[in-house]
Each structure stands twice: as C-alpha cells, then as structure tokens.
Structure 1
Amino acid sequence: MAVWSPWSLLLWEALLPMVIASAQVQGQVGGSALLVADHPPGFQVREAIWRSLWPSEELLATFFRGSPETLYRSRFLGRAQLHSNLSLELRPLESGDSGNFSVLLVDKQGRARTQTLQLKVYDAVPRPVVKVFIAVSGDAQPPKTCQVFLSCWAPNISDITYSWRREGTVDLGMEPASLFTDGQVLSVSLGPGDKGVAYSCIVSNPVSWDLATVTPWESCHRQAAPGRASYKDVLLVVVPVLLLLILAGLSAWHWGPWSGKKKKDVCANEVDQETESPLV
C-alpha cells in the first residue's frame, strides 16, 4: 500500500481533477462554527487535509496515518479542533475569521475528493434604539388622530435587516407603503383606540436578532398636553430673545468706552466754565 505525506497529497490535489462540492457556513463572533467534511457512503477516509484558502492560504489540520494534527502556525492556532469524523470546529470565532476553506479527503482505494466551504462570521445584533417623531404638531393634526414616524437604529453593526411588528395582532408584517429608508422608519396614523398599541422594531442578521418596543400614543399625549409648549413654540420665543440680548451686549461693548469718554469731556468743560465765571 502506498504511503502518502501531506505535501504529496497537496501536490496530487493540484495535478489531478477532483470531485468538488461547496457549502456555506455561518457563525457568530464568540461562538463556534463546524466545517463538516462531507463524503458519500462507502468512502472510507484514510487521509485528510484542512486548509484556509482566503484571505490567506494556511494549513489548519491534517489526519495522516491515523493521527490528527492541528498545531500548525495559522491564525486559527489553538482555536481549531479536528473531530473523529474529520469535521473541523473553529472556536471562539473572531470577526476576521470569514473566508474560504477546503478539505482534501483520500480514501483507502486512493480516490480523492475536495470540498470547499465558505464561512461568514457575523457580529451579535445589539438592542436597537427606537425614537418617536410627531409628524404634524398642534392644530394641524386631524381631529383625535396623531401621525407619527418611528425611527429604528442599531449602533455599530452592518449586514442587518429591519422589520416592524404591531404587538397584539396576528399579522406580523407592515404595509410596504408605510416603510422608509430600507425599513428603518415606519409611518403610523394613530387614533383614540390606539392608546395602548405598541410597535416593535426587530433587527436581525442570519445568526442573531433583538428588538425594542415603544407605545407611540404616549408621545402624542405628551405633545398635546394642555399648558405644554412644543419645542417649535419654545424656539420661536427663545431664539428672538437671545438675538436681542446678543445685539444689546454687542452695542454696549462697542459704545461703552466712547460714551464714557464723552461724559468725562462734558464734566471737564463744566468745571472750566465755573472756574472762569466771576463770582457775583
């Protein structure tokens, strides 16, 4: 029986055509990913070589002469485990672990099979932040209604999707016409019967999800409460007053020295006149 070394197997892989299969694997930062060495029934594996192909080509693990080996200098050193079925487990995953991998399997009859796998590592989705904006304020609102925009945002993350859910209803989706900015903003028209209705923003990626829930009618109630001015009304009063105070301060700073000097000159002239005038 011929004896193969890992390097001769790699050379054989480069020269001979192989049966190629591909698969996609997803993982989460801090978790684990299992790269399965798939082979057909009756394919009795004798040797196996796991490699990273991209972003860098590295030797990760081998199974040769019945002994597994994973202590190769690669970015996965200490994080790779070769199981008895020759599948490779990577843990804990890091954000830079995404890439392409391959496994070369050789059976006892000398037949070879190469399988490629693509690993995509995602960050865990954080809790989103939902803000409520009143679309129309004051008397411009239709009677007993409140038009709001719900804005949803998940910080410091990419590759996520946004969706909305009206709590307490069977229909989990929202009408596309009421969604904006790739689903991040939802337009809602509320009436008196919607005082207790809550809306949830759901952010997700292929490996995790999270949500935040708000009751938008509460913001409408605070906006319309008697005796409370909206932020627009406050700005209409505060901004002109601030401008007048600033102008008054600038005027006093500019004319102050000149007016003082003029006053001193007037006082000096009055003293001179009194000195020159004869006493009666």
Structure 2
Amino acid sequence: MAVWTLQSLLLWEVLLPVVWAQVQGLVGGSVLLEAEVPSGFRVRDAIWRSLWPSEKLVATFFHGAPETLYDSRFLGRTRLHSNLSLEIQPLEQGDSGNFSLLLVDTRGRTESRTLQLTVYEAVSRPTVQVFIAIADGTQPPRTCQVFLSCVVPNSSEVTYSWQQEGAAELRDPQQGLFIDSQVLRISLGPGDEDTIYSCIVSNPVSWDSVAVTPWESCLQNTGPGDKSYKDILLVAVPISLLLLLAGILSIWHCAFGSGKKRRNNSPNSTTTGTETPLV
C-alpha cells in the first residue's frame, strides 16, 4: 500500500504546475534547497527527488517520519530539516542538476516545486602578463602602449573585469577591452609610474584578483638598443629560409650520390656489346 501511494504521488506530480528556482553552490561547501511551504498548508507527506541523470529518491517525510536512506549519489550527504528544506553537504562537481519537491497536505492537496542546482568550483588565482607595444613613431613621446592579459587556468564560466587603483572605473573601458575582457589595452605616461591595475575574476560563488604595475615593464623594455619584433623577423626569417634550403639541397645531393654509387657497384649490372663468332 505504501509503495502504491508513493508511485501515485509521483505520477500525480507530473500533472501539477512547476515552480522553478535557481540555486548555486560551491564545491566542498553546502547548499540549502528550501521547501517554502504555502501558508496554511499542513504537510502530511513530502518527497525530495533528484531528476538528473536519472530519477532518484533523496529524502521523504511520511506522517511525521523523515527518511533519507535511499540509494542515490547523495546518500550520507543530505539532511532533511524540520521545515522540510533539504541540505546537501559537502557538494561535489557532479551534484548539478534538477531537484523536485512534492508536498501533500492532510486533505490530499498537493504542491510541487522544482529547483535547479548549479555547483561551481572556486576560481583559481589569475595570472597577468604584460606585453609592451613597440613605438612606431606616431605615439606621443615618453608614452607606453601596454596590453595586459589575464588568464585563469582550468576554470569555466569565469567573468573578467579590470580595476584601476584609485579610480571608480576605467577610462573608456569598451575601447580597450578584448577577448571577453581578458585583455586590456592602456596607454601610460610619466605620471603613471605607480598606477596599479587589477584583474578580477569571478563566477557566481567565488572570486579572486591579482594586481600589477605596468610601468615597470615599460622601463624594462625601453632603451637605445631595443629592437621591434618586426626588425627581428626581417633578419631571422630570411636566414631561417636559407638554412632550410641548404639542408634540403644537402640531403638531396647525398641521396642522389648514394643512389648512383649503388647502381654502379651492383653485382647484377650487365654490359652490352657484340660478340664475334668463331669460324
């Protein structure tokens, strides 16, 4: 009878309107899936289920008796509170998915609620690299064009943003941001020696940041002996092509000479001539 009642409730849940809610959690932390029982609704039965990747019972409440010992991935990590909210701890990466709660009151009326849980990993500390654009003669003197690249290893769904120390927001941020704000282009002058820029990375449940002083890289990459990458390419590429061509000719010459010697020394080679018959 109890099995038939449970199956009937789950079947009836399909016909009920669904209310969605979004919940986020952090790997290793805890999350509370709230029941939100309607006012005046006297709960007799409650059923929590995990809907993905397959339907599994997580916790039930029948006539005042809570039960959470069911065969699911959440076994040993759940707690059904007195208000019928479900706590999961510690969270794992694979816990993301949909959960449903079916409530039945003492008159047989039902309420259904569905929640979507998304579990995120904590964002890793970002790494910022500083690239200096070589002056081409068109930019003002004593200025430095800088590209700041911010990278977070092994992270997904990360949002990037930049902050200049002491400024409410970056000047013309849309003109200097590239690749979903991972790269920032700025122009520095003598008054920016101590200016600090921070890359801020975040997801819905965590964030981290790292700060750099770009002018220090400008000083390290300027001087009378500096050459642009274009000058280096003009010298390196022709030399590389000549060396490659010389290597190919050498290999071809060796292969050709070796093949010729083998043909001359072969024991199966024959000599064509005329033979005078004896009379």
Shorter-chain TM-score tier: 0.7 to 0.9
State the TM-score, normalized to the length of structure 2: 0.79
Give 1:44's aligned residue. Answer: 42
**How far apart, CA to CA, are the structure 2 residues paired with 1:200 and 1:7?**
60
Give 1:25's aligned residue. Answer: 23
Give CA deviations for 1:222-277 in whole Å, capped at 9, x if unaligned.
1114566677777777888899999999999x99xxxxxxxxxxxxxxxxxxxxxx
Contact 1:19 1:112 in 2 (8 A): no
**How far apart, CA to CA, are the structure 2 residues paired with 1:173 and 1:233?**
33
Deviation (angstroms), 1:38? 1.4
Deviation (angstroms), 1:123? 1.1
Give 1:266's aligned residue. Answer: none
Q: Within 5 A, what are the aligned runs for 1:81-120?
A: 81-120=79-118
In structure 2, the residue corresponding to 1:20 is in which secondary structure?
Answer: coil
Deviation (angstroms), 1:160? 1.0
Q: Within 5 A, what are the aligned runs for 1:4-83?
A: 5=2, 7-15=4-12, 17-83=15-81
In structure 2, the residue corresponding to 1:71 is in which secondary structure?
Answer: coil
Deviation (angstroms), 1:142? 3.0
**How far apart, CA to CA, are the structure 2 residues paired with 1:140 and 1:19?**
65
Say if 1:173 and 1:126 are closer, same or farther in 2 by CA, change over 3 A.
Answer: farther
Contact 2:164 2:196 in 1 (8 A): yes
Deviation (angstroms), 1:76? 0.7
Q: Within 5 A, what are the aligned runs for 1:55-204?
A: 55-137=53-135, 141-171=139-169, 175-204=173-202
Give 1:261's aligned residue. Answer: none
Contact 1:164 1:173 in 2 (8 A): no
List alignment gaps of at least 5 residues for structure 2: 255-279
* One-letter amino acid matched to 1:14: L
Deviation (angstroms), 1:90? 0.8
Deviation (angstroms), 1:23? 0.8
Contact 2:134 2:228 in 1 (8 A): no
Give 2:277's aligned residue. Answer: none
In structure 2, the residue corresponding to 1:62 is in which secondary structure?
Answer: strand
Deviation (angstroms), 1:13? 3.7
Give CA deviations for 1:154-177 in whole Å, capped at 9, x if unaligned.
110111111111111122675212
Contact 2:59 2:66 in 1 (8 A): yes
**How far apart, CA to CA, are the structure 2 residues paired with 1:140 and 1:21?**
60
Task: Report sequence identity in percent.
Answer: 62
Say if 1:246 and 1:177 are closer, same or farther in 2 by CA, change over 3 A.
Answer: closer
State the TM-score, normalized to the length of structure 1: 0.78
* One-letter amino acid matched to 1:21: V
**How far apart, CA to CA, are the structure 2 residues paired with 1:105 and 1:83?**
15
Say if 1:72 and 1:13 are closer, same or farther in 2 by CA, change over 3 A.
Answer: closer
Say if 1:246 and 1:173 are closer, same or farther in 2 by CA, change over 3 A.
Answer: closer
Contact 1:48 1:106 in 2 (8 A): yes
Give CA deviations for 1:140-189 in whole Å, capped at 9, x if unaligned.
65311111111111110111111111111122675212111111111101
Say if 1:107 and 1:80 are closer, same or farther in 2 by CA, change over 3 A.
Answer: same
Deviation (angstroms), 1:52? 0.5
In structure 2, the residue corresponding to 1:75 is in which secondary structure?
Answer: coil
Say if 1:88 and 1:198 are closer, same or farther in 2 by CA, change over 3 A.
Answer: same
In structure 1, the residue corresponding to 2:219 is in which secondary structure?
Answer: helix
* One-letter amino acid matched to 1:30: G
Contact 1:52 1:60 in 2 (8 A): yes
Contact 1:165 1:173 in 2 (8 A): no
Higher share of residues assigned helix: 1
Q: State the number of aligned residues.
A: 253
* One-letter amino acid matched to 1:80: T
